[in-house]
Structure 1
Amino acid sequence: MITGIILASGFSRRMKKDKLLIKVDGESIIERVIKACINSKLDNVILVYRSKEVKEIGEKYNIKTIYNKDAYLGQSQALKLGMNEAIEANDYMFLVGDQPFLTSEIINILIEEYNNSHLPILVPYYNGIRGMPMLISSIFKEELLKITGDKGGRDIVEDNIFRVKKVYIKEEKLGMDIDRPEDLDLLNMNKK
């Protein structure tokens, strides 16, 4: 069972407004990510949120929502909350809430590649650049639960590099995330 955990409880400090609520083609970025997840082959989807507006979008799609009261501790806190809720998961797909062009097709390709590889970690590369979402087997659960600060499973990937399936996706835009005001210009260019 693969559980998708959407990490959506950051503070958007570089953007200076909640980037997850920015509209792309009439939908908020977080809604686009949620729809990609629920229309994919993920067995379960969990949304870890901080803002009420993000929670309401998750509830609209009947997915499990978890409030991250300790969001100031960094991305690792959201990761742990999601994992602790995903009791039956054999594998975790960690997604970020700020990838407006992520599709259910990409998620399905990553799941298929992961299942066929028999390796416990999968990382996508968009036009050669490492990105998200990443898949990690629950065999790393204890190590993942020890992560602290504003990072996800990066250290586990680097410590187990020979156990990582790399999936190369040519179209860089599919892995694009939105962090800074300048990214909005790229976002508008990439919509075409």
Structure 2
Amino acid sequence: MTSQSHPKIVGILLAAGLSTRMGRPKQLLPFGNNTIIETVIDNMLSSNFDDVRVVLGHCAEDIKKLIMDRGVVTVYNPDYRDGMLSSAQIGIRSINFPYISRPSSTSCEKSYETNRDAFSLMLVDQPFITTELINRTIDGYRETNKGITIPSYNYQRGHPVIFHCKYAKEIVSLGDDSGGIRSLYQSYANDIHYVNVDTDHILKDIDFPDDYTKALQESKNSNS
């Protein structure tokens, strides 16, 4: 693969989950002056992603009403109960990568550009991943000839992860017993570029009510 001077990168936000461990839709929980999902979307829109799309499922209509003025493309995953892999796959299918079949027209809000070289996967429960952290990962991807770029803190992989489009077909073909997207990290270890960062924010997610309470306090402290 040749050096990637300025590949066009799609940011895909996975926001379709049931929030079972939280007990209520964490996408819609207040966070700062907005909600968790609005915070994450705003960080993505302020970054160097060339476009942003959001995969919805549980509470899709409520979430779509909330974010409809933010200029993002939404993609509906009818199989959101099957887990995060299904949402990643339908998000990738919404991009016109070669040899990848598109989802049905009812799943996608509009047609998409074909000149996209890579895609990034982000999780809706990680509002501490700032625009700066996203851009550091994007810069790392653009500075290497590796096909996968992952931010790392103390040798732990975080998000967002950026994939060259050559991996799209393999990811959308993964089955439930495949080990998921993480299986690619072992299969293609020599094609991974790690971007070392000095914060654990790339690792933090909000799964349980206690996580949310701690996240609110940390956000309050950082803004005080």
TM-score normalised by L of structure 1? 0.93
| 1:11-60 C-alpha deviation (Å, 9 max, x unpaired) | 11111111111111121111011001111111111100112222223312
Q: Is the 8 A contact 1:119 1:163 kept in 2?
A: yes
Q: Is the 8 A contact 2:159 2:202 kept in 1?
A: no
Structure-2 separation of matches of 1:12 and 1:21: 10
- Quote the residue 2:73 is aligned against: 64
- Quote the residue 2:188 is aligned against: 160
1:15 and 2:42 matched: no
* Displacement after TM superposition at 1:171 (Å): 1.2
Structure-1 separation of matches of 2:32 and 2:206: 15
Aligned counterpart in structure 2 of residue 107 of structure 1, from 120, 131, 134: 134
- Quote the residue 1:24 is aligned against: 31
Q: Is the 8 A contact 1:114 1:135 kept in 2?
A: yes
Percentage of matched positions with identical amino acids: 28
Structure 1, 111-120 or 168-177: larger mean CA deviation: 168-177
| 1:120-158 C-alpha deviation (Å, 9 max, x unpaired) | 001112344221110011111111111234975211122
1:86 and 2:113 matched: no
Q: Is the 8 A contact 1:124 1:169 kept in 2?
A: yes
* Displacement after TM superposition at 1:174 (Å): 4.7
Structure-2 separation of matches of 1:40 and 1:176: 19
- Quote the residue 1:37 is aligned against: 44
Structure whose alpha-carbon radius of gyration is higher: 2
Structure-2 separation of matches of 1:181 and 1:152: 26
- Going by fraction, where is helix more abundant, 1 or 2? 1
Structure-1 separation of matches of 2:183 and 2:196: 20
- Equivalent pairs counted in the alignment come to 192
- Quote the residue 1:133 is aligned against: 160
- Quote the residue 2:5 is aligned against: none
Equivalent position amino acid for 1:115 in 2:
R
Q: Is the 8 A contact 2:160 2:202 kept in 1?
A: no
Structure-2 separation of matches of 1:106 and 1:129: 15
Q: Is the 8 A contact 1:41 1:108 kept in 2?
A: yes
- Segments of 5+ residues of structure 2 without an aligned counterpart are 1-7, 97-113
Equivalent position amino acid for 2:17 in 1:
G
Equivalent position amino acid for 1:97 in 2:
V
Aligned counterpart in structure 2 of residue 121 of structure 1, from 144, 148, 157: 148
Q: Is the 8 A contact 1:76 1:152 kept in 2?
A: yes
TM-score normalised by L of structure 2? 0.80
